[in-house]
Chains A and B, each alone.
Chain A
Amino acid sequence: MKFLKKIDNTQRFLIVIIVIYCILVQSRNSAFLSLATLFTMFRSAAGTIILSMGVLMVMISGGIDVSFPAIAIFGGYTSLRICMACGIQSMFLTFAISIAIGIVLGVGNAVLINILKLEPFIITLSTASVYFGLMTILVGTKNVGATDLPAQFKTLSKMKLITTTNQYGGEIGLSVFIIPVAICVVLTWFILRKTLIGKGIFAMGCNNEAARRAGFNVNLLRIFIFGYAGFLAGVMGVIYIAGTNSVNPVSLVGTEMSVIACVVIGGASPTGGYGTIFGTLLGVILYYLFSQTLVYLGLSASWQSFFMGIVLLISLITTSWQRRVQNRKNFIYTE
């Protein structure tokens, strides 16, 4: 009961949608509600969950980041190529290289925003193409097939914690991806809710100037936020390559919109200052429900982004409308 009181309106709305949609799909396909579906869905959603945590943090601080897919593929692909060239078999080093690249590029974003003092959106839009272009020039765009992948990627891709059988008798297991995903989610929760940095991030999103006058070093905080988003993108880069089991370095770029959509659907305020991890997770679940189960309802998967757009607009409009009415009462006029 205590939990029910804690969740906000957006999350209730999302839970209702998810439950109704699940019932609808279940009535069409009785094999839908099973552990096997959950495990497959989790495996494909793992990367998005990690990235969405970074986007959530950036959005709470009042900015928008669109460069994270470029950072993720830069980190993951470079680390893969280095491992292939030097014959590195260590899982730790693979992640370390990718994460280091991610942090450097993320901090680069923050430094540029601090210098230029412009909308983070425009700056990350340009750095996204700079990073991606740099990677294609420095590392190349060669596809790496499943057979050429180093051993650590293969083990990461195959290792399972628990296994279950699906309706056809095939074995489907809970991927080992749950460990990095859980670490990232808990770490984000800890930073946002239990540390002074987290309070600073919320303060920055509510009012940048007020946060500065309250004694937060806003520029340093921004470097931390984007560095952390870069860190998460680095982790995701390795997981993405292991998850697809082969890599086409051009494929990830262009997915930034779907991750941002998940976070905004989850109730994070696009102008900053509000956002929850639980809501973001609900947003990711909804996205993957649409992407994988529209077929059962007789619609092709190409309608997915249309439905996402509709849910996105409805949740944006309702939350914004409430705030607008509230503001009008206090004689604050916004467009």
Chain B
Amino acid sequence: MKKLREYLSRDISMAILFVFFLGILLLMFVNFGSSMYNKQTLASMAFQLSEVAVLAFGMALCMLLGGIDLSIVANANLASLLAAMVLTGKFFDIEKAGQFVTILVAVIVAVCVGMICGLINGVIISKFSVSPIVTTLSTMTLYSGLAMGITGGNSIGNYPPAFLKFGTGSIGPVPIVFVTACIVFIILILALDRTKLGHEIHYIGENHTASRFTGINNENVIIKVYTISGLMAGIASLMIMARSNSARVGYGDTYQLQVIMIAVLGGISPSGGKGRLYGVFIATFCLQLMQTAFTLWQFSPYSKKLIWGMMLLIIMLINMAQARISRNAKIREMSVKRSAS
């Protein structure tokens, strides 16, 4: 317990998040009681949470680098459309190839399309020095335009039942998509804490000039990170397809704001360098709890949007106030030391 307190006092934004999370849990319990915390609601929450969580990991990685990936939702859309075309037999005869091969090809297509789109982002940002916001805004236009052009705005649905198992099935009480999200989370956390790439990401986000002069190849790291973010989009696209049994241009338009908000709420600084990935995971749970509450309260989608926007602003205000307080404390400490010596 003492260790936990020590840890939380060191990382104040994490502490705020923790208090926030517990507060929401309690509030929901008081308000809804067992209609919120029963097995069914929790399972449906776990289904919905997974795809947003995976997208948020991709966004968080880019934000750690000091960038942002706005094309992540458009990227997931494009990947899911192309994979859907494979599954419904637009490219080859699925009867002849067999179900297993078709699904395998679809998965490979989704992941590869996601990674290629991410790679394009990374190359434009690092090799041509275009700022991340504008690059990903324009590739967002490009990817969603491509998806729109291919489909003409129609949705593609009706996949083989074996594929839908991935989205609707569960291992015991836990949905398969949620297990996938957890596996992705564990791999990413290990990669960020234990590998060279993980440390390099933090360095570059903190100060990209300094990291260049310590011999880090900034450009390669940036390309790698945006490709990983594209990979996340690919995985999320598979989850979305399998869960909703259809793919359509413009699916998950509201995810854009939500994903950025999750990353900021999870303690990732929008200017880069600071933040922990498990904060992002906790923030995803917070938002999903609120989302479910909104559905129970029957809020309109517009008032949901208002609340998301307000929350993002309030979180940024709290983060700023906290940063200012801790900076002032540091200055005071230093001046005390100086006067003592």
Report A's interface with B, CB cutoff 8 A.
Answer: 64, 112, 115-119, 121-123, 125-130, 132-134, 136-137, 141, 254, 257-258, 260-261, 264, 270-271, 299-300, 302-310, 312-313, 316-317, 320-321, 323-324, 327, 333-335
B320 at the interface (CB under 8 A from A): yes
Q: Are A133 and B306 in contact (CB under 8 A)?
A: yes
Q: Are A309 and B142 in contact (CB under 8 A)?
A: yes
Q: Are A121 and B133 in contact (CB under 8 A)?
A: yes
Q: Are B309 and A118 in contact (CB under 8 A)?
A: no
Q: Is the interface of A mostly helix, strand, loop or mixed?
A: helix
Cβ–Cβ < 8 Å partners of B142 in chain A: 305-306, 309-310, 312-313
Q: Are B260 and A137 in contact (CB under 8 A)?
A: no
Given contacts A306-B149, A313-B124, A321-B129, 13 further A-B contacts (CB under 8 A): A118-B320, A122-B316, A125-B312, A126-B261, A126-B312, A133-B302, A133-B305, A257-B137, A260-B137, A264-B138, A300-B152, A316-B130, A317-B130
Q: Are B129 and A302 in contact (CB under 8 A)?
A: no
Q: Are A320 and B129 in contact (CB under 8 A)?
A: yes
A118 touches which of B128, B141, B271, B308 (Cβ 8 Å): B271
Q: Are B302 and A136 in contact (CB under 8 A)?
A: yes
A335 touches which of B125, B141, B308 (Cβ 8 Å): B125
Q: Which of B142, B270, B303 has the most CB of A within 10 A?
A: B142
CB distance from A16 to the nearest CB of B (A): 20
CB distance from A51 to the nearest CB of B (A): 16
CB distance from A159 to the nearest CB of B (A): 34
Q: Are B320 and A116 in contact (CB under 8 A)?
A: yes
- A260 CA to B136 CA, complexed, in Å: 13
CB distance from A133 to the nearest CB of B (A): 2
Q: Are B270 and A303 in contact (CB under 8 A)?
A: no
Q: Are A116 and B316 in contact (CB under 8 A)?
A: yes
B108 at the interface (CB under 8 A from A): no
Q: Are B145 and A308 in contact (CB under 8 A)?
A: yes
Cβ–Cβ < 8 Å partners of B130 in chain A: 270, 316-317, 320
CB distance from B85 to the nearest CB of A (A): 16
Chain B residues 243 to 293 lying within 8 A of chain A, measured CB to CB, are 253, 257, 260-261, 264, 270-271
- A115 CA to B125 CA, complexed, in Å: 29
Interface contact tally, CB-CB below 8 A = 150
Can you list 21 contacts pairing A with B, beta carbon distance less than 8 Å? Answer: A112-B313, A117-B320, A118-B270, A119-B133, A123-B316, A125-B260, A126-B313, A130-B306, A133-B306, A136-B302, A136-B306, A258-B141, A300-B149, A305-B142, A306-B145, A306-B148, A309-B142, A316-B130, A317-B128, A335-B129, A335-B218
Q: Are A271 and B303 in contact (CB under 8 A)?
A: no
Cβ–Cβ < 8 Å partners of A316 in chain B: 124, 128, 130, 134-135, 138
- A147 CA to B215 CA, complexed, in Å: 68
- A217 CA to B292 CA, complexed, in Å: 46
Q: Which of A126, A130, A313, A321 has the most CB of B within 10 A?
A: A126
Tally of contact residues, B, Cβ under 8 A: 53
CB distance from B250 to the nearest CB of A (A): 9
B138 touches which of A271, A309, A321 (Cβ 8 Å): A309
A137 touches which of B134, B146, B303 (Cβ 8 Å): B303
Q: Are B270 and A122 in contact (CB under 8 A)?
A: yes
- A32 CA to B25 CA, complexed, in Å: 62
B141 touches which of A121, A257, A334 (Cβ 8 Å): A257
CB distance from A147 to the nearest CB of B (A): 26
Cβ–Cβ < 8 Å partners of A132 in chain B: 302, 305-306
CB distance from A69 to the nearest CB of B (A): 13
Cβ–Cβ < 8 Å partners of A324 in chain B: 128-129
Residue of B nearest to A309 (CB): B142
B104 at the interface (CB under 8 A from A): no
Cβ–Cβ < 8 Å partners of B129 in chain A: 320-321, 323-324, 327, 334-335
Cβ–Cβ < 8 Å partners of B219 in chain A: 335
A307 touches which of B128, B145, B212, B313 (Cβ 8 Å): B145
Cβ–Cβ < 8 Å partners of B133 in chain A: 64, 119, 121, 270
- A64 CA to B135 CA, complexed, in Å: 13
B9 at the interface (CB under 8 A from A): no
B208 at the interface (CB under 8 A from A): yes
Q: Which of B129, B148, B270, B307 has the most CB of A within 10 A?
A: B129
- A313 CA to B134 CA, complexed, in Å: 9
B195 at the interface (CB under 8 A from A): no
- A24 CA to B145 CA, complexed, in Å: 22
Residue of A nearest to B313 (CB): A126
Cβ–Cβ < 8 Å partners of B308 in chain A: 126, 129
Q: Are A317 and B124 in contact (CB under 8 A)?
A: yes
Known: A133-B303, A309-B142. A127 touches B134 (CB 8 A): no
Q: Which of B131, B152, B264 has the most CB of A within 10 A?
A: B131
B27 at the interface (CB under 8 A from A): no
- A304 CA to B148 CA, complexed, in Å: 9
CB distance from B205 to the nearest CB of A (A): 11
Residue of A nearest to B138 (CB): A312
Cβ–Cβ < 8 Å partners of A134 in chain B: 306
Q: Are B303 and A306 in contact (CB under 8 A)?
A: no
Residue of A nearest to B204 (CB): A335
B310 at the interface (CB under 8 A from A): yes
Closest 7 CB pairs of A and B: A133-B306, A309-B142, A306-B145, A305-B145, A129-B309, A130-B309, A136-B302
B317 at the interface (CB under 8 A from A): yes
Cβ–Cβ < 8 Å partners of B126 in chain A: 335
B241 at the interface (CB under 8 A from A): no
Cβ–Cβ < 8 Å partners of A271 in chain B: 131
Q: Which of A117, A132, A134, A334 has the most CB of B within 10 A?
A: A334
B207 at the interface (CB under 8 A from A): no
Residue of A nearest to B302 (CB): A136
CB distance from A205 to the nearest CB of B (A): 13
Q: Which of B137, B139, B260 has the most CB of A within 10 A?
A: B137
Q: Are B149 and A129 in contact (CB under 8 A)?
A: no
Cβ–Cβ < 8 Å partners of B143 in chain A: 309
B313 touches which of A130, A308, A334 (Cβ 8 Å): A130
Cβ–Cβ < 8 Å partners of A304 in chain B: 145
B144 at the interface (CB under 8 A from A): yes
